[in-house]
Structure 1
């Protein structure tokens, strides 16, 4: 399978880019830079253009921040680059990640995965979610999650899934990693690869608590309760009927 490594990096984050260049050089791998959107680039006009505010108020429990919007737009640019490239899949990384020793074995691990997938989580930087062993590929373990972990710092995406995501997200109303959790709505079939080959760096300017904890933002409590109940029910129902379960035909 042909692949491309896509690194999201804003023009202002020059030190992060140098750090990632060093890591990739040490791993003996190449990447393509995707120019990321910075929070400061999200004008009121752009915000109104891409955020479905009415659905945000109705179906999500806090307003999206400029950082949420910048993250979403940056990843959409990576998905578009993946579609344009014509490769089979992309490894999409944010620029404050650390490549674990053996990261360069990732393409071999992916090649040997024979269960259905179109997204592979490569990191779990925040709350740990329960997972079950699905299969083994060499020294790595393929898992499925009860709830897809939050975080968008590192994942693999098939080109066909990138096309679907682009079509579904011309406007959006939830943070990107929350949309990943609602995988059945987004057309995703998510697995994880452990031990994770990537971790989030907290030396490069990201505060894990601020990044993960939306309670720092003004919340709509009734919407939050309804959102959580709906998620719990649909996640369970969708998981029970997921075509990627243990009874599914292997491959895709």
Structure 2
């Protein structure tokens, strides 16, 4: 993407269902400026803080608590460059995007989400750890993570006034 200067891409996991309005969402994304990442899925129903209508059926919004799933999202070239600047890369990307302000990543979402997790699909990750998180985490590392996340959630994920149609 960076080498070929591709303006944006759509990233989809293999364990999902795609709603019929995904092409409409992609068309709307191509009309927007100044965005880094647009969430296309959230299985936890995190609410938007602010929102703006993109069409009579689609809404763009920002988050106080960025959804951590990466089932589906759009990533701009600017967003890809921001993610690639992180050295070292030390968190899974679905967790790392919740710390968006560390790399100045602007994250929004488009609802209704055009992508949903397919609950009939058996995840290799869940199967490998029997559905449990690793017990290797220490108390202090978890405490620090939760403290950092608490302060991160005080920051809105994007300024919608800067994400304007072309």
Q: TM-score higher than 0.5 here? A: yes
**Distance in 1 separating the partners of 2:20 and 2:163:** 29
Corresponding residue for 1:180? 97
Tell me the alpha carbon deviations over residues 62-94 of structure 1, each in whole angstroms, 9 at most, x when there is no partner. xxxxxxxxxxxxxxxxxxxx2233221111111
Corresponding residue for 1:192? 109
- Within the candidate set 140, 144, 150, 2:68 is matched to 150
Corresponding residue for 1:96? 15
Unaligned runs of 5+ in 2: none
Runs of 4+ off more than 6 Å: 207-211
State whether structure 2 residue 119 is matched by structure 1 residue 202. Answer: yes
Task: With the length of structure 2 as denominator, give the TM-score of the two structures.
Answer: 0.82
Do 1:154 and 1:198's aligned partners in 2 also have CA atoms closer than 8 Å?
A: yes
Corresponding residue for 2:58? 140
Residue 215 of structure 1: how far off its partner (Å): 5.7
Residue 210 of structure 1: how far off its partner (Å): 7.0
Residue 168 of structure 1: how far off its partner (Å): 1.5
Do 1:179 and 1:186's aligned partners in 2 also have CA atoms closer than 8 Å?
A: no
State whether structure 2 residue 151 is matched by structure 1 residue 233. Answer: yes
Q: Which structure has the bigger radius of gyration?
A: 1
- Within the candidate set 149, 155, 159, 1:245 is matched to 159
Q: 1:199 to 1:179 in 2, by over 3 A?
A: same
Give aligned pairs, total: 162
Task: With the length of structure 1 as denominator, give the TM-score of the two structures.
Answer: 0.56
**Distance in 2 separating the partners of 1:205 and 1:172:** 27
Where 1:86 maps in the other structure, the secondary structure is coil
Corresponding residue for 2:142? 224
Do 2:15 and 2:118's aligned partners in 1 also have CA atoms closer than 8 Å?
A: yes
Q: 1:207 to 1:193 in 2, by over 3 A?
A: farther
Residue 128 of structure 1: how far off its partner (Å): 3.0
RMSD over equivalenced CA pairs, Å: 2.8
